[in-house]
Amino acid sequence: MPSTKAYTLFLSPLFSPSLPVLHAMSGLMLLSLIPTVLLGFSVVLSAAELQRFEHAAKADGSLSLLVVGDWGRRGAYNQTEVALQMGIMGEKLDIDFIISTGDNFYEGGLNGVDDPAFYESFTRIYTAPSLQKQWYNVLGNHDYRGDVEAQLSPVLREMDSKWLCLRSFIVNTEIAEFFFVDTTPFVNKYFLEPKDHVYDWSGILPRKSYLSNVLEDLDMALKESVAKWKIVVGHHTIKSAGQHGNTVELNLQLLPILQANNVDLYINGHDHCLEHISSSESPLQFLTSGGGSKAWRGDVAWWDPKEMKFYYDGQGFMSVQITQTEVDVVFYDVSGEVLHKWSRTKQISSAVL
C-alpha cells in the first residue's frame, strides 16, 4: 500500500486563539473544514496518519472538559435541563472544550446539512456562554442511519463554529491526548441484521480495510504519544452493565490495543446511563456518559462489585479535570447534583522536573 502524506494547517491566532490546529491526513488538503474567514495559515508536511488537533491547555497546564452523549432530541427527555446544568458547571470549572460521545441526532441522524434538527437539537439547546467552546463529536449508530457526510460537512461548522465532527481523530493538549474512534463500523449486527434500519456506509466500504486502518493508525498514534494521560473516546461500550452491555467486537479488537498502550480512560456513550467500571486486568477505567436526554431504561445487568464503581440509570453528564499529576472525574445528574467522584494520581517524571 503506498504511503500517504499529511499536512498541518496552522490557523491564524489573530482570529481565534482557542481554535485548534488541524493536521489533515492522506494527502487531502481539508481546507473545507475551516470557514473561509480563516485563511491565515501555513502548510507543512507531517507524518501523522490520523487528523490531529492541537488544543492548548490553560496557562497553568491544567485542563477541564465536559462529556455528554446520546443527546439530540430537540430538547425533549430533559435534554434542555441537562444542557442547563452543563452550562452552570462549565462556567464553574472554566472548561476548555466539550466531548460528545455520539448519537448526536435522533432517531436517524441528519438527513442533510439543511436539516433543522442541527439547530433545534444543538445550537438552540447548548446556549450557555461556557458551552460556546469547541465541541469534539464522534458518530454513533443512530447518526449512521442518516446522512453521515452531513455531520462531517464544513457547512455545519460555518453554521455553528463550535461544532466539529469527524470519524476518527486526535486532540492533543500536551498534558493529555484524546483519541477519538469511529466505533459503529466495528459492530457486526448493523451489517448482518440491520432490521428496518438503513445505514450510510459511504466512506466505510470495504469494511475490513477501513477497520484495519483505524486500528493500525490508533495503535501507532498511541505508541508515539508522549502525553501524561492517554484517553480514548468512542460511542460504543467496551464494558457496561446497561441495556447494550459489552460490545463484543470492541473487546476483541480495540481493548487489546488500549491495554497494550497503557490507556488511562475509555469514554463512551451508547448506553443511556452514567457508569464507571474499573478493570481487573489493567489500570484502564471505563466511563459511560450517555445520559444527555432519554434514559431510565430500567435494565441493569449484574456486575462484579469489585469492578462496578458506579451506575446511574438516568440523565446527566460528566466532567474531567486534568493536571500533570491527577485526573478527577465527576458525574452529575439532571439537577447538577454530584453522583460519583473518582481520582487517579501519577508522579511527575524526572524528565519534567
On the question of pLDDT at 178 being above 50, the answer is: yes
Give the model's pLDDT for residue 299.
82
Given the residues 23, 244, 276, 340, the one annotated as active site: 244
Average the pLDDT over each of 32-46, 226-240, 253-267, 283-297 and give the range with the smallest value: 32-46
Counting the structural domains of the chain, the total is 2
pTM above 0.85, yes or no: yes
Q: Mean of the pLDDT values across residues 233-251?
A: 97
User: How would you classify the pairing of strands 285-289 and 265-268?
Assistant: parallel
State the pLDDT confidence band at 298, using cuts at 50, 70 and 90.
Answer: confident
Residues 66 and 212 in one domain: yes
Segment among 50-59, 228-237, 266-275, 291-300 with least mean pLDDT = 291-300
Domain span at residue 20 reads: 1-48
Tell whether 23 and 91 lie within a shared domain. Answer: no
R_g of the chain, CA atoms, integer Å: 19
- Is residue 350 in a domain? no
Kindly indicate the confidence band of residue 14, based on its pLDDT and cuts at 50, 70 and 90: very low
Asked if the model's pLDDT at residue 5 lies above 50, the reply is: no
Query: Does residue 188 belong to any structural domain of this protein?
Result: yes
Annotated binding-site residue? 60: no
Residues 300 and 319 in one domain: yes
Determine whether the annotation assigns residue 103 to a binding site.
yes
Q: Would 189 be classed as within a structural domain? A: yes
Region 226-251: what's the mean pLDDT?
Answer: 97
* pLDDT tens column, 125-172: 999 999 999 999 999 999 999 999 999 999 999 999 999 999 999 999
> Per the domain annotation, does 108 fall within a domain?
yes
Peptide bond into 107 cis (omega under 30): yes
pLDDT in tens, 20-30: 444 433 333 34
Task: Find out whether 141 is annotated in a ligand binding site.
Answer: yes
276 among the known binding-site residues? no
**HSE (CB half, 13 Å, CA atoms) of 293?**
22
pLDDT for residue 1 is more than 60: no
User: Has residue 352 been placed in a domain?
Assistant: no
Q: Are residues 302 and 320 in the same domain?
A: yes
Range with top average pLDDT, 15-24, 205-214, 293-302: 205-214
User: Within this chain, do residues 35 and 166 fall inside the same structural domain, yes or no?
Assistant: no
Q: Is residue 351 part of a domain?
A: no
Q: Is residue 89's pLDDT more than 70?
A: yes
The reply to whether 269 and 141 lie within a common domain is yes
3-class secondary structure, 33: helix
Say yes or no to pLDDT of 96 above 90. Answer: yes
Please tell me whether residues 170 and 282 are part of one structural domain.
yes
Do residues 161 and 101 both lie within one domain? yes
How confident is the model at residue 40, as a pLDDT? 26
Which range has highest mean pLDDT (34-38, 45-49, 328-332)? 328-332
Question: What local confidence, expressed as pLDDT, does residue 23 receive?
Answer: 41
User: Could you tell me the pLDDT band of residue 17, with boundaries at 50, 70 and 90?
Assistant: very low
The predicted model gives 314-322 an average pLDDT of: 98
What strands, in cross-sheet order, belong to the sheet with 134-137? 163-165, 134-137, 97-100, 63-68, 316-322, 326-333, 338-345
Does the structure show a pLDDT above 70 at 11? no
Q: Is residue 353 part of a domain?
A: no
Cell digits for 87? 452550562
**Is 244 part of the annotated catalytic residue set?**
yes
Query: Is 300's pLDDT higher than 80?
Result: yes
pLDDT tens digits for range 62-82: 999 999 999 999 999 999 999
Say whether pLDDT at 33 is over 90: no
Does 70 belong to an annotated binding site?
Answer: yes
pLDDT of residue 136: 98
Taking residues 327-337, what's their average pLDDT? 98
Residues 73, 4 share a domain: no
Residue 90 in any domain: the answer is: yes
The percent of residues in the chain predicted with pLDDT above 90, rounded, is 82
Q: Are residues 221 and 151 in the same domain?
A: yes
CATH assignment of the domain containing 197: 3.60.21.10
Q: Binding residue per annotation — 235?
A: yes
Q: What is the pLDDT of residue 69?
A: 98
Q: Which residues contact 176 (CB under 8 A, 6 or more apart)?
A: 63, 227, 228, 229, 230, 231, 322
Are 253 and 295 members of one domain? yes
Same-domain pairing of 38 and 125: no
Q: Other C-beta atoms within 10 Å of 275: how many?
A: 28
Q: What is the pLDDT of residue 176?
A: 98
